[in-house]
Chains A and B, each alone.
Chain A
Amino acid sequence: MRRTACLVALATLLALAACGEKKEEAKVPEGPLEVLGLKTVAAFSAIADPAERSAALFGEMAKVIAHPRCLNCHPRGDTPTQGESMRPHEPPVARGANGHGPPGMMCSTCHGATNVAFAGSPGSIPGHPHWGLAPLEMAWAGVPAAEICAQIKDPSRNGGRTLEALVEHMGKDSLVGWGWEPGEGRAPAPGDQATFGALVAAWVETGAHCPAP
């Protein structure tokens, strides 16, 4: 448990560092063009038009945003989904008043502060101190990338965040970061949080344009 916490902290530090670097070098990005299946900002430098580049950056961000690790807890209804196939959560659980489940069956009834490997069988139960459902206005499951983009920019549907706060959140928040540390038996989101955070920062810098619907 402690080890996982350290890893999360380390990932956050790396993300911070990475974000800083990328920001400084945004105009002449260097380094790898792809990290663990996620294109880096550098891969988009050939697109001259900033708006076009911005939209393309969001398209890349959507690989993470629309990944089951994220969508499973950003459902459109009141019940989360599970697994790569995004099947209904088993046992059946409800959103509850605050997204953390109803009395008697809170998210925290099963999900702890960290991922916990099962004692007797392969796999693990995911965990994070803030484990819960994203608010309904942040529902992304089954939503086209262009609409998610509009949602994410809209402070009334992104938790009241400015674009700058969004960069911070996507690049550093440890619950977002869980997507890359999902525990035994789950595929992580593409890339890593640093690469993703840099994409978000670059997208905001280029005007936060959305892909065509």
Chain B
Amino acid sequence: MAKLGLESPSRRAFLGGTGALVVAVALPLKSLAQSGAAKVLAGEAGAQSFAPNAFVRIATDDTVTVLIKHIEFGQGPFTGLATLVAEELDADWAQIRAEHAPADATLYANAAFGPIQGTGGSTAMAVSYELMRKAGAAARVMLVAAAAKAWSVPPAEITVAKGVVAHEATGRSSGFGALAEAAAQEAPPAEPALKTPDRFVYIGKDMPKLDTGGKLDGSALFTLDVYRDGMLTAVVAHPDKLGAKVASVDETAARAVPGVVDVKTLGSGVAVYAETTFAALKGRRALAVAWDETGAETRSSAEIAAAAQEAARGRGALAREAGSVDEAFKGEGTILQAEYLFPYLAHAPMEPLDAVIARSEDGIEAWMGSQIQTLDQGTIAAVCGVEPAKVAIHTMLAGGSFGRRAQPTSHLAAEAAQAFMAAGGTRPVKLMWTREDDIRGGYYRPLMAHRLRGLVAPDGAILAWEQVIAGQSFLAGSPFEGMVQNGIDPTMVEGASDLHYAIPNLHVSVHTLPSPVTTLWWRSVGHTHTGYAVETFLDELLERGGKDPVEGRLALLAEEPRLAGVLSRAAEIAGWGRAPGEGRAFGVAAVHSFNSYVAQIAEVSIEGGVPRVHRVWCAVDCGLAVNPNVVAAQMEGGIGYGLGAMLFDEITLEAGGAVRQSNFHDYRSLRIGEMPEVEVAIVPSTENPTGVGEPGVPPIAPAVANAMRRLTGRTPRRLPVVAAV
């Protein structure tokens, strides 16, 4: 068992952090960069140059540590990216370790983001597939070269398998560790050859996850688990109304709480610092803060919703047009119209936001579940008055994110750094958000309204589709504003403006409605609402046209073989066409998001007015499935996450603008008894891998809603379902 007492585990735990490049022997990054290694893969990430061995570290004890440039919060990059290296290195799986790479955009930029290190958009595997394999292959070539020299044999005669470098003719063999130092002297190969898929040993197999063990005995370290000598814990009193600022503070009672050390006003609220978490929490409750609501949202969410719905009744900025819906609607047939309303949603990751900031010998150290390291690094640097390169971020395992930690504004890093500096910038500070801060603290999936109009011809063909979307843009005004084009935030219309169904007349437009309520991407982003509106409305049009939900969709997907493929596969494993259980109905939905394709079929009944989802059949095409078990887990998790939100979740602002919900009792999470059985089929593919973190989410809500319509005759037009029932 763990040792008791006040000994801080932090020192021991973090010895293996970024300093380890010095500690560990082998393939030192600097020498490689000087020898030109940085140019080896220069073509891979555009203008960014990087050295392959920034990703691999081989120690004399034979362990191979793969540095993971993406944050691990359950979606599997530790295992997935390490698998790529292990494959081309021909390592033994037992010698593979994974740890977060340091924050360094010159080495670890996400090719999909430009010169920024970060995780999001389900890109980790897609942007790493060749990069990490080449890193492993390069290391293998260097080990082989070192062995060839040591044994005076031709490199071509040397084999590598399961972590053993061998020369059959002479009977010589070695582990990686013994060759590491010599290998480090070798010139890295310019273009290491990669295996053809038929030779894969690990890719495509269910390799055991590298981060499981520590999550079963309490040894895995999250940000909240970081304790530094002399550390203060800080909690911040935030306003009830989003956008309000501190007007005045009476801190007398807070300071009187034993253990409270200081109280400081920050840009975001009032920080209470204490020797213990409990004292900080008590101190915060004793604060009396008056808020300046000048810039706050003071409308209720009902008013915001009414404004969005009103806006959606007229067309907005054009996002996509094909044919002419106006002409088409004059034709024969039935016009259907529907209005949808989607609430603000909190992400509510299990670990609320947190960060630890401390002074290092020559700069600042930060421990946090940083999802966009480069922005967090720059923000901390600016607040603390040091160069970004002097800010070392230890990316920690994070207790979920679902988008919450990917902050274009770096608001958490900013608050933590401000808290650190405001307290004097000497003692380490752990900033901790409580669940109430998390639920009430904004950065929600925006409230969105949709209006759809469709025309079904007398022969059942869908001839026209008009969709108006109204809501808030979280890209506008952020460092990602460049994504906004022609006044249209693509994350508001994705899934609608690129409608995959062959409908000849199409018109999609968007209204961008500003509000002081802070909003953010939420697992699967725009598809959280467009997927629902499109897939439920299409289902109704198909029904009106007398079409089967699966056959009708397939007929419109002739040009979309991969989406059609997952739909067919889901129908196959669900046994589509058979009768559902007594009192139950099937519903189907298929959504293409983040370059992956997912179709789901749900079997649903209504019990006491509340839908019960018994079983879900899910088919996914994410290109080559590097780790099928992780892919399946992400589908299961995406289904649970999407289902919980659809059934229960809504952030509401009361009259005056204060957030009503505060914790899991009124912001319900799906619980185990509400989780359906899930069967996942992975459609075989030779395409390069694409993401799975988000694409499992969008189809579940419309699939369930379509089943509900078969049971009740009505599509839920506003979510969540349980509050709306």
Contacts and interface: CB of A to CB of B under 8 A. Distances in A.
Binding between chains A and B? yes
A120 B284 contact: yes
B278 A121 contact: no
Q: Which of A90, A91, A119, A120 has its CB near the most chain B CB atoms (within 10 A)?
A: A120
B448 interface: no
B436 A120 contact: yes
Interface of A: 90-92, 119-122
Interface string B99-135: 0000000000000000000000000000000000000
Contacts of B544: none
Interface stretch (B139-147, B173-181, B660-668, B703-711): B660-668
B285 A120 contact: yes
23 contacts: A90-B664, A90-B665, A90-B666, A90-B668, A91-B664, A91-B671, A92-B671, A92-B673, A119-B278, A119-B281, A119-B282, A120-B235, A120-B281, A120-B284, A120-B285, A120-B434, A120-B436, A121-B285, A121-B434, A121-B436, A121-B662, A121-B663, A122-B285
Contacts of A120: 235, 281, 284-285, 434, 436
B673 to A, nearest CB: 7
A209 B509 CA distance: 70
Interface residues of B, number: 16
Contacts of A119: 278, 281-282
A119 B664 CA distance: 16
A71 to B, nearest CB: 19
A122 B285 CA distance: 8
Interface in B420-451: 434, 436
Interface of B: 235, 278, 281-282, 284-285, 434, 436, 662-666, 668, 671, 673
A94 B663 CA distance: 22
Contacts of A122: 285
B695 to A, nearest CB: 30
Contacts of B673: 92
Nearest to B674: A92
A121 B278 CA distance: 11
B279 to A, nearest CB: 10
A120 B352 CA distance: 13
A119 B663 CA distance: 13
Contacts of A92: 671, 673
A91 B662 CA distance: 15
Given A91-B671, A121-B285, 15 more contacts: A90-B664, A90-B666, A90-B668, A91-B664, A92-B673, A119-B278, A120-B281, A120-B284, A120-B434, A120-B436, A121-B434, A121-B436, A121-B662, A121-B663, A122-B285
Contacts of B281: 119-120
Pairs of residues from A and B, 6 with the lowest C-beta to C-beta distance, nearest first: A120-B281, A120-B434, A90-B665, A119-B281, A121-B436, A119-B278
Contacts of B662: 121
Contacts of A91: 664, 671
Nearest to A120: B281
A119 B434 CA distance: 10
B650 to A, nearest CB: 15
Contacts of B235: 120
A129 B281 CA distance: 27
Nearest to A117: B285
A121 B663 CA distance: 10
A119 B671 CA distance: 24
A84 to B, nearest CB: 14
B274 to A, nearest CB: 12
Nearest to A122: B285
A191 B104 CA distance: 66
B434 to A, nearest CB: 5
Nearest to A83: B665
A103 to B, nearest CB: 15
A122 B237 CA distance: 13
Nearest to B284: A120
Contacts of B282: 119
A119 B284 CA distance: 10
